[in-house]
Amino acid sequence: MKKFILSVVAIVGFSVTVFALPVNECKTDVYFGNGVWNTEKSADISRQELDNIIKDEIIKGDPALQAKYEKVKLAYNWSADKNYDLVETFYQLRQEGQLSQWLFYQLLDALETRTLSDASGEDMRTIRDKLIEAIGSVEQYNVDEILKKYYEESFQYSHRVLLVSHSQGNLFANRVYDSIDPTDYKAYFANVQVASPASSVHASHGNYITGWVDPIINPIPGSMESNADLDGFGGHAFVEAYLDSSDAYAKIVNAIKTQLNVLDTADSQWLKDQEVDKDTCDYRITVKHRFDSSLEIGENVYPFAANQKLYPAKNQQSGETEYVKASYGGTVFTNDWEEKQENECWMIDNAEKEKITAGIPDYECVIYVEMQYYSGMLKGFFKDERVDCWNSLNHNMDTVYLLNSNYEGDRISTEAMQTILLNDHDSLEILRDQYLQDKIAQQGEGYSYTLEYAVEPFCEIRGETEGFAYVVCTSWKDLLFEAN
């Protein structure tokens, strides 16, 4: 694969490692997280059953979906022995606030009496403290190992992660989610919890299924309310109780589909950085990661839709695989197709048939939407307008932004933009700063302000319609006011 270069820098102590990896924002990696009393072999049986669900209910023989999801992975929750697994679960429930310290100590002492009866010469409190410290250390190590697996096998490739967890695996799911760093990766993580002892699903993209007659989960203080029927006399096992019960199975499948769809809507992690040969058939861009500075793409990218996903596709002319920014579904792009127009350069074979075109588009704007952005303290806010416009070059609908000239939202006329060259980003920065200064002046004296970037902003003029200039922005500044 000729042009796949992703540089990843990992610093451990004073050593630096750089290696090459492919990036594909179209992929979602599905993981299974097991509960207590599971060897890695027995946990893998449940993983295989989940893999069958993904194949039968999601992929359904579609080669594109098979490439998107591939094989379910195992995020293994270690099992030492039955008593240790119980103590670790009690420890996690106490950390979740579901067990009082008194009740935790009572349960711990009861297990200590059974497992440490030969240690009668030592003070029970000392044994308890040492055991709690050891449990916390081992549990944290397991959390770190799972996090490392997610990063090394998924996040650094810009894959999304769906974790289907069972029983104590749900407590680990919450612990892992809370520990994700950089925290922005949380937006690319979803969690379906099955038979959950937790008081909530911590992941912002998540839901749960717990049976009405689950003898393990139902008695746990603070656990989430049951919401599924289990066949027969109920149970707790992932396969025998939940997957073999029609209502629970249907709800698990529906939850998985829901979370996969949510993950599909996540924003691209890669932003346009520099442009090369814009408005020509050789137009390319460079990209940079929004929040993980350890990742770097060292090549030019074909910008079919620069705000969409970064992934590999085959160049039909060269036969090589190269990076594109495009909507889902593309596998091949070409510069030769039927009914190709004079200004059209490249087309990718996704459903949108997105194109790279030469020249500056004229926009026909058909839908007006007003958005208000409130930020900071007191009265500081932006009033910005977004418009969906027909791009005359690539024949797609583009969402563009009207740059307001003042607090009331008047649009900047074409005449006012005549001195701004299409690629003169310095002039555009000056214009935008003048716009902000107008807002600050209207705020009145006695206030100071700061400007904050969610991500590094980038704006460009993209065309005009009905006498107004349109500006596309990839991010927004927050204007924060506070009294002096």
Residue spans of the domains in the chain: they are: 26-97+130-264, 274-357, 363-483
Q: Distance between CA atoms of 244 and 246, rounded to whole angstroms?
A: 6
Question: Hey, which bits of 152-216 come out as E strands?
Answer: 160-166, 189-194, 206-209
Helix (DSSP H) and strand (DSSP E) numbers for the chain: 8, 23
Q: Which residue has the higher pLDDT, 316 or 441?
A: 316
Burial class from Cβ neighbours inside 10 Å (0-12, 13-18, 19+) for residue 371 reads exposed
Structure tokens given for 345: 């350069």
Quick one: pLDDT at residue 35? 96
Q: Distance between CA atoms of 307 and 111, rounded to whole angstroms?
A: 56
Instruction: Name the nearest CA neighbour of 4 among 26, 22, 18, 19.
Output: 22
Quick one: pLDDT at residue 120? 53
Residue with tokens 């740059």: 403
Q: Distance between CA atoms of 221 and 162, rounded to whole angstroms?
A: 27
Question: Hey, which bits of 188-263 come out as E strands?
Answer: 189-194, 206-209
Q: What is the CA radius of gyration of the chain?
A: 27
Look at residue 475 and tell me whether its pLDDT is greater than 60: no
354-405 pLDDT tens trace = 999 987 655 554 333 232 222 222 222 333 444 455 566 666 655 554 443 3
Burial class from Cβ neighbours inside 10 Å (0-12, 13-18, 19+) for residue 176 reads buried
Q: Which residue has the higher pLDDT, 332 or 379?
A: 332
181-221 pLDDT tens trace = 999 999 999 999 999 999 999 999 999 999 999 999 999 99
Look at residue 301 and tell me whether its pLDDT is greater than 90: yes
Mean pLDDT over each residue of the chain, to the nearest integer: 78
Quick one: pLDDT at residue 398? 58
Among 10-24, 315-329, 421-435, the range with the most confident prediction by mean pLDDT is 315-329
Over pLDDT 90: what percentage of the chain? 58
Quick one: pLDDT at residue 129? 83
- CA atoms within a 13 Å half-sphere pointing along the CA-CB vector of 315: 15
| Span 26-97+130-264 CATH architecture | 3-Layer(aba) Sandwich (3.40)
Structure tokens given for 89: 């679960």
Task: Tell me the average pLDDT across 260-264.
Answer: 96
Grade residue 342 by pLDDT with cuts at 50, 70 and 90. Answer: confident
Task: Tell me the average pLDDT across 97-102.
Answer: 91
- The string of DSSP codes covering 18-84 is EEE----TT-EEEEEE--SS--HHHHHHHHHHHHHHIIIIIITT-HHHHHHH-S-EEE------HHH
Taking the CA atoms of 342, 348, 351 and 354 in sequence, report the sign of the dihedral they define.
negative
Grade residue 424 by pLDDT with cuts at 50, 70 and 90. Answer: very low
Taking the CA atoms of 262, 265, 267 and 270 in sequence, report the sign of the dihedral they define.
positive
Grade residue 111 by pLDDT with cuts at 50, 70 and 90. Answer: confident
404-420 pLDDT tens trace = 333 233 333 333 333 33
Quick one: pLDDT at residue 307? 84
Structure tokens given for 134: 């050891």
Burial class from Cβ neighbours inside 10 Å (0-12, 13-18, 19+) for residue 166 reads buried
Quick one: pLDDT at residue 441? 61
Instruction: Name the nearest CA neighbour of 22 among 302, 317, 323, 305.
Output: 323
Distance of CA 291 to the CA centre of its chain: 12
Structure tokens given for 333: 């792009």
Quick one: pLDDT at residue 205? 97
Quick one: pLDDT at residue 104? 86
Task: Tell me the average pLDDT across 439-459.
Answer: 50
Helix 82-95, helix 124-153: angle, nearest 10: 80
Task: Tell me the average pLDDT across 73-96.
Answer: 91
Structure tokens given for 21: 């990896």
Quick one: pLDDT at residue 471? 45
Look at residue 64 and tell me whether its pLDDT is greater than 70: yes
Residue with tokens 């050593």: 15
Cβ pair 171, 87 in contact under 8 A: no
116-158 pLDDT tens trace = 555 555 567 777 888 889 999 999 999 999 999 999 999 999 9
Grade residue 108 by pLDDT with cuts at 50, 70 and 90. Answer: confident
Taking the CA atoms of 356, 361, 363 and 369 in sequence, report the sign of the dihedral they define.
positive
Task: Tell me the average pLDDT across 234-246.
Answer: 97
Structure tokens given for 257: 């589909």
